Amino acid sequence: MKLEELAGKCGQWLKGSGPESDIVISTRIRLARNLADFPFVRRASDDEKVQIVKMLRGRIAKLPQWEQTAFWDVEELEELDRQFLVERQLMSRELADSDGDRAVVIDPQERFSLMINEEDHLRIQVICSGLDLESAWEQINALDDALESKLSYAFHEQFGYLTACPTNVGTGLRVSVMLHLPALVITREIEKVFRSLQKINVAVRGLYGEGSQFMGDFYQISNQVTLGRSEQELMDTVREVVPRIVEYERRARFFLLKESEQDLHDEVSRAFGILCTAKKISSEETLHYLSKVRMGVNLGLIRSVDILTINKLFVHTQPAHIQKLRGKHLSVADRNIERASYLQSHLTPKRDSEEG
């Protein structure tokens, strides 16, 4: 599998087929694991990092369920390719920017990936469409069991799985749900929601996780601490919180439709019109307008485009994706022109049939 093949496709988690997918984009579960026979990554020498990657590559190759996966040495990837995998949610910014031998293993359907020598020796992640905690947990639990059958993890009887960051010690579990909350932003209720989440130790992050900006009205909700809590307790926290946020967003959308449908329809239509006619457009502008259009599609205000297309455009119009799709490096100005052309090619053919 080549990265160019991924560029033209849409991962399973983007297809909008999961539960509550009008508001919940994806459910991601990540497990942090370390090997018993090596120091943590930040304490490991360059030679030890090489040994970790080599050993894990050999062990993973022996797992039947991993036969179709692609293994990439991150150090050998060009900067553009690293950024592409970050935009694709398959690799963290930390892994892309760090030094030393490190790797990423990816399922062709993008259902799971494995990062080697990020903050921990192993970061296993599974991504599902919509709010699908049970399916995500079943998948990652099976992957973890398969890996543990070939590896010796760093584990303490009292503390659980040992990790580089103290907040991950215990289960090493991070449950993260990505939500699209444009109505809460428009009604200025989003800050109130954030404040309530902070009181119950639930973290709110941007589109690309920790340290990233809030863009396109996307927010990632996840547990903060794992020590002293079981996998089930951590899952239950997210399971209880996310449906409430989904309900708040639905109420906000209903309020906007009831109180100012004409204004909302106008705002959504203007956003759609800009995306269809702009001759050049930045990635930030694109996310801003796509967010409004996505809400408009879900509310029936725009019917000439489907959610799968909009979801795909959120990813495919990012800087590295535009360049991979065009097959060459582009300046910022050229990217803005290419992005506008790409948007038109996906949105304008059906525009004549738009209702309203």
CATH for 42: 3.30.590.10
Among the residue ranges 21-35, 63-77, 246-260, the one predicted with the least confidence is 63-77
Res. 351: pLDDT tops 60: no
Query: In which band, very low, low, confident or very high, does the pLDDT at 352 lie, cut at 50, 70 and 90?
Result: very low
> Mean pLDDT across the chain, nearest whole number?
89
Output the pLDDT for position 29: 95
b/e map 248-260, b = 16+ CB within 10 Å: bbeebbeebeeee
In the listed set 249, 268, 288, which residue is the last one of a domain according to the structure? 249
Please check whether residues 285 and 195 belong to one and the same domain. no
The answer to whether 120 and 84 have CB atoms below 8 angstroms apart is no
Output the pLDDT for position 35: 96
What's the CA gap between 101 and 48, in Å, rounded? 9
Please check whether residues 242 and 305 belong to one and the same domain. no
Res. 162: pLDDT tops 60: yes
Please check whether residues 239 and 255 belong to one and the same domain. no
What's the CA gap between 214 and 176, in Å, rounded? 15
Output the pLDDT for position 208: 55
Q: Under DSSP, is residue 321 helix (H, G, I), strand (E, B) or coil?
A: helix
Q: Which residues 6+ apart lie within 8 Å of 257 measured at CB?
A: 264, 299
- Amino acid identity of residue 129, one-letter, is S
Q: Looking at residues 51-62, what average pLDDT do you find? A: 92
State the DSSP H helix or E strand holding residue 294, giving kind and residue range, or none if neither: helix 283-298
Among the residue ranges 45-49, 158-162, 351-355, the one predicted with the least confidence is 351-355
Query: In which band, very low, low, confident or very high, does the pLDDT at 214 lie, cut at 50, 70 and 90?
Result: low
Q: Looking at residues 52-62, what average pLDDT do you find? A: 92
Please check whether residues 90 and 199 belong to one and the same domain. yes
The answer to whether 168 and 224 have CB atoms below 8 angstroms apart is no
Output the pLDDT for position 349: 59
The answer to whether 243 and 180 have CB atoms below 8 angstroms apart is no
The answer to whether 28 and 127 have CB atoms below 8 angstroms apart is yes
In the listed set 197, 226, 249, which residue is the last one of a domain according to the structure? 249
Q: Looking at residues 148-172, what average pLDDT do you find? A: 90
Q: In which domain, by residue range, is 160 found?
A: 3-249
What's the CA gap between 63 and 76, in Å, rounded? 24
Between 353 and 144, where is the model more confident? 144
Strands (E) across the chain are located at 24-33, 70-73, 103-106, 112-116, 122-129, 155-156, 160-161, 173-180, 202-205, 218-223
Q: Each residue of 109-154: pLDDT tens digit?
A: 899 999 999 999 999 999 999 999 999 999 999 999 999 999 999 9
Q: Give the total number of structural domains in the chain.
A: 2
Please check whether residues 137 and 161 belong to one and the same domain. yes
Output the pLDDT for position 207: 62
Please check whether residues 39 and 152 belong to one and the same domain. yes
Q: Looking at residues 225-248, what average pLDDT do you find? A: 85
Res. 209: pLDDT tops 60: no
Please check whether residues 313 and 188 belong to one and the same domain. no
Please check whether residues 69 and 97 belong to one and the same domain. yes
The answer to whether 226 and 166 have CB atoms below 8 angstroms apart is no
Please check whether residues 151 and 112 belong to one and the same domain. yes
Please check whether residues 159 and 276 belong to one and the same domain. no
Please check whether residues 166 and 155 belong to one and the same domain. yes
Output the pLDDT for position 229: 77
In the listed set 190, 222, 249, which residue is the last one of a domain according to the structure? 249
Please check whether residues 229 and 309 belong to one and the same domain. no
Q: Each residue of 139-148: pLDDT tens digit?
A: 999 999 999 9
